[in-house]
Copies of this chain bind each other. A is one copy, B any other.
Amino acid sequence: MEGVASEAASLAGHLQLGKLIYLYDDNNISIEGSTEIAFTEDRGKRFEAYGWQVLYVADGQDVAAIDRAISEAQSDARPSLIVVRTVIGYGLPTRAGTAKAHGEPPGDTELNGAKEALGWPLEPRFYIPDEVLAFYRQAVDEGAAREAEWQTRFDAYRAAHPDLAAELARRMAGELPTGWDKGLPDFPADIKGTATRNSSGKVLNALAARLPELFGGSADLAPSTKTWIDNDPSFDLDHTGRNVHFGVREHAMGAIVNGLAYYGGFVPFGATFLVFSDYMRPAIRLAALSHLGSISVFTHDSIGVGEDGPTHQPIEHLAALRAIPNLLVLRPADANETREAWIAAIAHRDRPSALALTRQSLPTLDRSVMASADGLRRGAYVLADLGQGRPEIILMASGSEVSLIVEAGQRLAEHHSVRLVSFPSWELFEEQDEAYRAEVLPPEITRRVAVEAGVAQGWRRWVGDAGRVLALDHFGASAPAETVFEQLGLTAGHVFATAEALLNDRA
């Protein structure tokens, strides 16, 4: 019934993933009662429409019939759905075939009744018949034999193809090749700059050349998310390319990327607009919970989307993603931070990452006067201290708003000393030691302004009681990006005025 299952099955049918076999435990029961109350579609016909082979087993107790169906499924080039009619709570005297067997423990009477019907002893309570134990124990020897056979074949393969075997072993171990993060694009300072989605596309392609395990695609937005791996085919029926067309199926994309990460041998990514991260949240959460290195590339990350308007302008999404434990949220400020964000995402193979990237152009900061972009690896870092002496005020921002604090800071520096902090990742900053955090945000500097084109939620932690947060606690508007930023008060001028008021307040 869940939509993600439809999305995934449709794509599996399209790609003819013939090794995929679903055993559908068709017990006719859901928590609210019979599935007849909500789910009367012809499930087999639906899967046929997806391009699946559909097989039926009339009696879920008929193990031989299930075995025959699995063999038939294996011999077919299509993915297969085996619809197995079963009875939930099989054997329970009154609860078999009812919703109670799903949602509630059976209790002694029902359990004993089932055991009596099967001719089993009532004690021990957790009883395993000897023949069942013996049957399952066969798997130990059989497994050992199969592993030995596989090892023999792999040893022969290694002898014949030592490089390929070593590469396979490396990938399956999840180890990155030496120097993978060296020689990536270094972007020169540029006032006009480029969108971070564009820089991301360049970095992704440089990485793809070094990391054959980099594999992924977009939910029908590759031209917009700039996530196409050049000179590499689509992942199509021949299953060789690295560019996946996930279709307009964000939730399945997230789940498939997780599946690739679980399987191993891949550094998998999926891409869409940040506002559509909502569709993928269950998958992102599972990646975070399961320590999977799934990478999400989220472009069009603010009101900078412009004319598409509030439905397409993320407002609450950065906060909502940061709320997920163990997820790394990375919102780079310019082209070079974008390179560093990709490095961080790939380096963290035991947790998921989400990159938030712009549609609109951002200046590429002049790193000869600003600190190196690799400060991103520590979550937040001092871009520059402007003016003389100890900073009187700290301006901090993430992503596209960093260029606003730079411009405002330069104006303020005519009369004040100003610290500029680029803050691309809360999680990485939280994970630094207290000494580093206090170095970047000295507790005694309480005049602080944070700027972000999203809800203020959570920024109070970084600006403190005396600080100010310039944010958007409401939905956006439809107009050219510059107009929206201007109308909603996210301009260098407004940052300057806010900071100046704060300086004068307690001068």
Contacts and interface: CB of A to CB of B under 8 A. Distances in A.
Interface residues of A, number: 76
Contacts of A251: 3
A210 B149 CA distance: 72
Interface string A420-440: 000000000000000000000
Contact of A32 (B51, B222, B461): B222
A475 B48 contact: no
Contacts of A49: 41-43, 45-46, 48-49
Interface stretch (A4-12, A90-98, A172-180, A193-201): A4-12
Contacts of A187: none
Contacts of A281: 278-279, 281, 320
A30 interface: yes
A158 interface: no
Contact of A3 (B7, B14, B224, B473): B7
A297 B285 CA distance: 21
Interface in A453-480: 455, 457-458, 460-461, 464-465, 473-475
A38 B37 CA distance: 33
A189 B425 CA distance: 47
A223 interface: yes
A28 interface: no
Given A281-B281, A457-B458, A460-B461, A220 B30 contact: yes
A246 interface: yes
A50 interface: yes
B457 A457 contact: yes
A289 B475 CA distance: 7
A234 to B, nearest CB: 6
A5 B276 CA distance: 15
Contacts of A323: 316, 319-320, 323, 455, 457
Chain B CB within 10 Å, residue with most, of A14, A276, A316? A316
A1 B31 contact: no
A78 interface: no
Nearest to A11: B38
B41 A51 contact: yes
A5 B249 CA distance: 11
B32 A221 contact: yes
B248 A1 contact: yes
Interface string A229-263: 00000101000000001111111100000000000
Contacts of A250: 2
Contacts of A501: none
Contact of A7 (B6, B10, B220, B319): B6
A310 interface: yes
A50 B46 contact: yes
A475 B287 CA distance: 12
Given A3-B6, A316-B320, A458-B460, 19 more contacts: A1-B7, A3-B251, A10-B39, A11-B38, A14-B39, A31-B221, A31-B224, A32-B223, A32-B245, A38-B246, A41-B51, A45-B48, A46-B49, A99-B223, A315-B325, A319-B320, A320-B324, A457-B458, A460-B461
Which 5 residue pairs across A and B have the least CB separation, nearest first? A3-B3, A38-B247, A6-B6, A316-B323, A45-B49
26 contacts: A1-B248, A2-B3, A2-B250, A3-B251, A6-B7, A13-B40, A31-B220, A31-B224, A32-B222, A32-B223, A37-B236, A39-B247, A40-B51, A41-B51, A42-B48, A42-B51, A45-B45, A278-B285, A286-B311, A288-B475, A289-B311, A316-B324, A319-B320, A319-B457, A320-B320, A326-B475
